[in-house]
Structure 1
Amino acid sequence: MYAEVLFRSNSLGRICGISEDQNSRAMASPDSLQEEFMEESLTCSSCKNTYNDPRVLPCLHSVCATCLVAAQKEESLFTCPTCQNQVTLKGEDSVDSFPTNFYIKNLLNSRMLQNSEEAKCEMCKSGAKVEGTCGDCRLLLCGNCVTAHTNSPALKEHYIITLDDLTNPSSRAKFTGAEYCSKHPDMRTTFYCAPCSKLVCQHCTVTEHREGWKHSPRKISELAQKCKYELQTLVQKTQDTTDTLKNTRDTIGKEMKCVAANCQAERTKIREYFVQLRAKLDKAEQDVIDKLAKMEEAQLETLAKEKEGFKETLRSTEEGVKFCTDVLARNSDAEIVTLKKQLENRLKHLGNTANQVKHEPLKKHVTFQPSGEIKCDLNLTCKPLVVTKAPVESLPTTVVFRPEKGQVQGSPQVTVTSPGGQCVMLETTKVSEGCFEAEWRPQTSGKHVVGVATEGKRGWGRGTAPLIVDVRSNNPVLKFGKKGSQEGDFDRPLDVAVWGERLYVADTFNKRVQVFDISGEFCFSFSTTSNPESLAVQTSDGTIIVQCGEEVMKFSPSGELQKKLHLGEHCANISGLAVQKDGGVVVADFSQNIFLFVEADGTLVKQVGGQGPGEGQFKSVSFVCVDEESNIIVADTLQNCVQVFDICLNFMTKFGEHGMEPQQVWGPTGVSADSRGNIVLANVGDKSDVGGVEHGKKLQVFRPDGTWVSTISSDGDKLNKPHGVAVTEDGHVFVVDYADHCIRKYRYM
């Protein structure tokens, strides 16, 4: 029993916000451990009172629903008291959108029942000792009344919790997660409506949550196994990331010791050399030692900062994995179903964040030469103004400025002048004492001049000598395909889609769909009988949706035809399609300048648009896509813009202006959105056969609100006729070039 409580105190402590010190204090006395842990684990870290309807936040910590309601009345943000993560609270139903922590609720039941030793049976009034409770009758029961519930046909379906259920781990699973419907208090919630993210009862499935395009109630028991499998897969992937982070953390620690030992050895050499010349070289010796100390400090500071980043990433990753592992171990269907979306998003976020954190080991160490000079090839530690890595066009890099003591009074200004003479000013942030950083995303290749202006006693002046930086072109990291009909060849491909580790290409005039891995290796292909022009993949099950003329066909992940959607009575000329998570299909109609939303079986739900320049109107509907929030993003080629609609097909925003500048749009076609909300847009440009951004043939990255981020082009192997695009979770984009009969892959984040 002690081992079990100790394990739960370490794991549940993170869920409830209990510190490691409180856990270590509980280890001192096994007899008092369970009582102390029970009290602390049932205490809300926000209001410091016993939990009242505990809810799970996106960071996987729990707080009272009453705390969230109170915070919502005062402001729109709630800060988690355990990890300081901020949660947005908007709308009347925002608090209900956070899932219930069933585990803590049942701990509350456990304490209530265990503390009822002095209570007497409330059903038979016999004064007998309480041995259980009935969730339907809301009464404490003696042993005879528990038996009566079990044996009586009218009462045998009642929800009974006994002391044996609370002490026997194999019995606990039967009541974990049991809830009663707020609309129908006499009914237990046995269904889950995924679009609403709510547990509902059987009555709700024929009233408020009736099956339709807005509601999809499913039995919890049917959903649970699928949720378990997906979460177990994510746990394994994230656990692998945790192991990588641990190894990297240990490597950095070893390097820090190596740096200190190396510098100490060189310091000894310096002192031995200057012993012979002490009378004349005391000052020179001290100067050189001070210089070494600064280099050591700079190296250790950089490594320490990097190590702290790995440490924080590791902590968040371990915490997320632990929480999910505990949920799966408890084997509660309701808990798994209600927490699945949050756990999935959190684990994906942690996995992506960890994969983006890279460590470049120190290549050279400080060395002392008898000439009296200390040499170090690390630019970051030797120069006051540096760029941390070789900059690439359109990708972010960091400019670091370390002014001399007393040189800067306020914040310095970093300026960058491009080869064409355009000058931009970057905002700087003070990251440590005497160190400033600025993010730079160059938009052209070639030699740039990076300078710093500082404010001193005599006003603004040049802070240090300018730095000449050569920016590399953002050339494709991968290109494959040529005109032909063999495996891996293409004949005017028009669209591309990504699902997991697979890449799907609409090989139009070869009348087939080809499937590759994301490194460009051919996997298999399947015939479409007619020319495929656009395609999409349903993220929930891998169903492939392909448009050929006025026909929309559904294929299994292995390429077997499953269903045809005949949309001829609704569509005149389909130009693109996308698919929602629940299987609903969005179809763009070029001739009517509309897009339609149809159910998985092809039933028309609604159409939006029409000819015109206004909001929600189009001149030439091209491609469409859906983002993580199920918003619909439409590219309008002739209007040179992008329009965004919400899940209910209501207009949200419109952006884009025709022109040749990097931030302007010229004939948008393919469009895709990543999990961070970024929108990647392909521009077909002018009618010439000359490629490149100067002819409008480019890829662009925008924020969800239409704010331009960057433009992707390349000096060599330029885009000719870019069309369909698809993004990957690791910050790359695939683009179809139908004039060159190939696929190119670029890094965009």
Structure 2
Amino acid sequence: MAAASERKVLEEIGEDFLCCTICLEQFKSPKILPCLHTFCEQCLVTLVEKTGSLNCPECRQHYQLPVGGVPAIKGNFFMSNLIEIFKKQLESMQGREIKCEACQENTATHRCVECKYYLCNICLKAHRNLPLTRKHQLMTIGEYETAKLTSPVTLRAVEYCNIHDQNEVKFYCETCQVPVCTNCTIVKHRIPEHVHRDLKDAADEYLTELKAMVDKLKVKEQEAEKNKTLAKQIHTDLTEQCSREERKVRMKAQEIIKKIKREEQRLIDELKNNYKMKIKRAAADIDEMELKHGNIKSAGNYIETLMHHGNAAQLLSTKGDVGTRIKQLITMETTAKAEQEEVIFTPNDVKFCEHGILGILKSDVCISKCTVENIPKQLLKGDSADLLITTRDSTGKQVIPKQQVKAKVRKPDASWEDINVVDNRDGTHRVRVAGQLDGKYQVTMTIGDQPIPGCPVIIPVIKGLVKTIGSQGSAEGQYNHPRVWP
């Protein structure tokens, strides 16, 4: 019966939960950081000596070392208690004899629930006779093993004050947010400056609050997992799209392989280069979502284990850190940043021998990165100007757009006219504006029905010279030997 109980506890907690992720061994003097990640004291000392700062190896959060260094970091007494339980359970499961923890010589026959010690018959008598321990709850090992199955709550050890080590912790100081004993309420936590509550009542109330926060944390974990899956799907889709477009390029190249090999390779290299950055960004999203999801999940696992297996003092000793960490995780951004931007190969409709190219690679454009250049301040009536549209993707790279580029002009007589857009097949387009009437021309240019920043462009058209000054000659007000500079 006892072996079954041990196995159940081991399965619930798991040995990995009790291992430091730095040294990969069972915790020694465990220290807990505000992010709820626990490490061996010596592992943190080595880490700080090596890096010169304290950054959590799990979630990479930076913390200021307290006065006193790593040893002054809060100890994880809950974890230490679990390790002791784990060791005893493991010894019992392996059939090893349990030694008395007082004399370290005789076989243990009893266990003190308050002290958490196994005692032999000789040490048991001394334990019963000492004034400080005579009222402690003592059980035979058989009774203790049975109680673990039938009523594990009764086996929770009494917690003693860190300052008054012979006094049981019975109160919770809400002012200082620490469990205290009766002496503490008289010395350092006196009324009315400090507000006290019964330890169990405070723990029960906090447990209710903690359950509600854990429920929200689980929702956040599901959201993070969903976005992590989305990031992976984007990564997969981009990879598949790249492969699909590469196959299209190769199919076209095989038709006239001898003449197009060099062009084929150029297009493939350009295609892979385009997708390389997009896939890299998608992969970075996966890494970020993996890290955030892992932080949320590990915090949730730790808190749930603390809720299920920790006593009131252990539960409340981390109240501030747990609440802060849960709020951090719940408000953490878990939306994937990568966008599914495609690069599509469009084959050339005419014969290869006429133009020497297989086709072109067209990409999604970022409208905010596109520009219009060569805009004249004004035009003489009858003249024309060529505006230059440059299309770019989200990284600012000049690309050939998948979307259609259009332009139209509103003339001074309020009539509208579509303008022919010449595609230069290099990520630029030419729009010719002819000044047929004097007045203001409004030119609107769109990519995929979205206006390019800065549109509409206003171009004034004038009849001729604005003003004539002087004339050729030697009289006053006239020019003597005027020259035209090239």
Question: For 2:276, what is the secondary structure of its paired residue?
Answer: helix
TM-score w.r.t. the length of structure 2 is 0.60
How far is the alpha carbon of 1:180 from its aligned partner?
Answer: 1.8
Q: What CA distance in whole angstroms lies between the structure 2 residues aligned with 1:63 and 1:102?
A: 13
Query: 2:113, 2:158 within 8 Å by CA — same for their partners in 1?
Result: no
Match of 1:351 among 327, 330, 339: 330
Structure with the larger helix share: 2
Q: Does 1:207 align with 2:207?
A: no
In 1, the alpha carbon distance for the partners of 2:321 and 2:266 equals: 57
Q: 1:189 aligns with which of 161, 169, 181?
A: 169
Give the deviation of 1:260 after TM superposition: 2.1
Shift of residue 14 of structure 1? 4.0
Alignment map for 1:136-147 (pairs within 5 Å): 140-142=119-121, 145=124
Name the structure 1 match of 2:429.
Answer: none
Secondary structure of the residue aligned to 1:203 is: helix
1:188 and 1:201 in contact (8 A); partners too:
yes
Alignment of 1:678-693 (within 5 A): none
The aligned amino acid for 2:16 is G
The residue type equivalent to 1:244 in the other structure is E
3-state SS in 1 of match to 2:342: coil
Q: Could you tell me the TM-score, scaled by structure 1's length?
A: 0.41
Residue of 293, 301, 305 corresponding to 2:284: 305
**Residue number in structure 2 paired with 1:377:** 364
Residues 132 and 142 in structure 1, CA contact (< 8 A), matched pair in contact too = no
Give the Cα–Cα distance (whole angstroms) in 2 for the partners of residues 70 and 250 of structure 1.
36
In the TM superposition, what is the alpha-carbon distance from 1:314 to its structure 2 partner? 0.5
Which secondary structure does the structure 2 equivalent of 1:199 belong to?
A: strand
- Displacement of 1:216: 2.9
Contact 1:14 1:319 in 2 (8 A): no
Q: Which residue of 2 aligns with 1:216?
A: 195
Structure 2 CA distance for partners of 1:301 and 1:7, relative to 1, 3 Å: same
Q: Deviations over 1:339-388 (max 9, x none)?
A: 222111111111111xx2323674552222122111011549x99xxxxx
Deviation at 1:132, TM superposition (A): 1.6
Asked if 1:283 corresponds to 2:262, the answer is yes
Task: Show the counterpart of 1:408.
Answer: none
Structure 1 portions without partners, runs of 5+ = 23-39, 45-50, 384-398, 404-467, 471-749
Shift in CA distance, 96/193, structure 1 to aligned 2, threshold 3 Å: farther
Matching residue of 2:11: 6
Aligned residue in 2 for 1:388:
none
**CA distance in structure 1 between the partners assigned to 2:113 and 2:17 by the alignment:** 31
Q: 1:218 to 1:253 in 2, by over 3 A?
A: same
Matches within 5 A, 1:480-559: none
Question: Who is 1:480 aligned against?
Answer: none
Partner letter of residue 305 of structure 1?
A
| Alpha-carbon contact 1:55-1:65 (below 8 Å) kept | yes
Contact preservation (8 Å) 1:239, 1:321: yes
- For these two proteins, the number of residue pairs brought into alignment is 356
Distance 2:136 2:106 in 1: 22
Q: Which residue of the partner structure matches residue 62 of structure 1?
A: 38
> Which blocks of at least 5 consecutive residues in structure 2 are unaligned?
349-358, 371-393, 399-451, 455-486
Q: Residues of 2 paired with 1:127 and 1:15: CA distance?
A: 29
Q: Which residue of 2 aligns with 1:87?
A: 63
Secondary structure of the residue aligned to 1:269 is helix
Cα deviation code 1:237-271 (max 9, x no counterpart): 11111111222222222232222222222222222
Amino acid at match of 1:59: C
User: Could you tell me whether the CA contact under 8 Å between 2:242 and 2:275 is conserved in 1?
Assistant: yes
Q: How many angstroms does 1:217 deviate by?
A: 3.1
Equivalences for 1:433-472 in 2 at 5 Å? none
Hey, what does 1:651 align to over in structure 2? none
Partner of 1:314: 293
Contact residue 160 and residue 167 of structure 2 kept, 8 A? yes
Contact 2:289 2:336 in 1 (8 A): no
Which residue number corresponds to residue 136 of structure 2?
158
Contact preservation (8 Å) 2:306, 2:315: yes
Trace 1:630-669 onto structure 2 (pairs within 5 A): none
Matches of 1:401 and 1:195, distance apart in 2:
56
User: How far apart are the structure 2 equivalents of 1:198 and 1:312?
Assistant: 32
Q: Residue 132 of structure 1 contacts residue 161 of structure 1 at CA under 8 Å; is this kept in 2? A: yes
In 1, distance between residues paired with 2:293 and 2:101?
51
% identical aligned pairs: 19
Closer, same or farther in 2 for the Cα pair 1:128/1:277, shift >3 Å? closer
- 1:59 offset after TM fit, Å? 2.6
1:100, distance to aligned residue in structure 2 (A):
3.7
Equivalents in 1 of 2:47, 2:301: separation in Å? 28
- Structure 1 pair 300–161 and aligned structure 2 pair: CA distance change class (3 A): farther
User: What is aligned with 1:293?
Assistant: 272
Report the alpha carbon displacement of residue 337 of structure 1 after superposing the two structures with TM: 1.2
Match of residue 340 from structure 1: 319
Q: Is the Cα–Cα contact under 8 Å of residues 89 and 95 in structure 1 kept in the other structure?
A: no
CA shift for structure 1 position 196? 2.9
- SS of the residue corresponding to residue 63 of structure 2 reads strand
Q: 3-state DSSP class of the match of 2:182?
A: coil
Aligned to 2:84: 108
Q: Residues 3 and 133 of structure 1: is their aligned pair in 2 closer, same or farther, counting only changes over 3 Å?
A: closer
Please report how far the alpha carbon of residue 287 of structure 1 lies from its aligned counterpart in structure 2 after TM superposition: 1.1
The answer to whether residue 228 in structure 2 is matched with residue 241 in structure 1 is: no
Note the alpha carbon deviations across 1:629-673, whole angstroms, 9 max, x for none: xxxxxxxxxxxxxxxxxxxxxxxxxxxxxxxxxxxxxxxxxxxxx
- What is the rounded CA distance, in whole Å, between the counterparts of 1:121 and 1:350 in structure 2? 42
Shift of 1:207: 0.7
Alignment partners' CA distance in 1, 2:235 and 2:215:
31
**What is the letter of the counterpart of residue 20 of structure 2?**
G
Residue type at the aligned position of 1:210: R
Q: 1:319 is paired with a residue of what secondary structure?
A: helix
Find the residue that maps to 2:202 and give its secondary structure: helix
Report if aligned partners of 1:133, 1:141 keep a CA contact under 8 Å in 2. no
More strand by share: 1
Greater RCO (CA < 8 Å, at least 6 residues apart): 2
What are the superposed Cα offsets for residues 119-142 of structure 1, whole Å, 9 maximum, x if unpaired? 46969x996743224656978243
Conservation of the 8 A alpha-carbon contact between 1:13 and 1:19: no
Displacement of 1:95 in angstroms is: 5.5
Superposition pairs of residues 422-437 of structure 1, within 5 angstroms: none
**C-alpha distance in structure 2 between counterparts of 1:363 and 1:121, whole Å:** 64
Is the 1:238–1:350 contact (alpha carbons within 8 Å) kept by the matching residues of 2?
Answer: yes
User: How much does 1:200 deviate?
Assistant: 1.7
The residue matched to 1:186 in structure 2 has which SS? coil
Counterpart AA for 2:360:
E
Alignment of 1:339-418 (within 5 A): 339-353=318-332, 356-359=333-336, 362=339, 364-371=341-348, 372-379=359-366
AA aligned opposite 2:336: H
1:269 aligns with 2:245: no
Name the aligned partner's letter for residue 5 of structure 1.
L
Task: Report the residue type matching 1:193 in the other structure.
Answer: C
Query: In the TM superposition, what is the alpha-carbon distance from 1:321 to its structure 2 partner?
Result: 0.8
Work out whether residues 99 and 338 of structure 1, in 8 Å CA contact, stay in contact via their aligned partners in 2.
Answer: no
Distance 2:301 2:116 in 1: 36
Match of 2:444 in 1: none
Match for residue 600 of structure 1? none
Measured in 2, the distance between the counterparts of 1:341 and 1:15 equals 23
Post-superposition Cα deviations, 1:464-496, rounded to whole Å, max 9, x if no partner, equal xxxx988xxxxxxxxxxxxxxxxxxxxxxxxxx
Contact 1:131 1:143 in 2 (8 A): no
2:109 is matched with 130
- Quick check: which has more Rg, 1 or 2? 2
- How many angstroms apart in 1 are the aligned matches of 2:50 and 2:275? 49
Residue in 1 aligned with 2:20?
17
* SS of residue matched to 2:331: helix
Equivalents in 2 of 1:267, 1:55: separation in Å? Answer: 53
Please give the alpha-carbon distance, in whole angstroms, between the structure 2 residues aligned to 1:67 and 1:373.
56
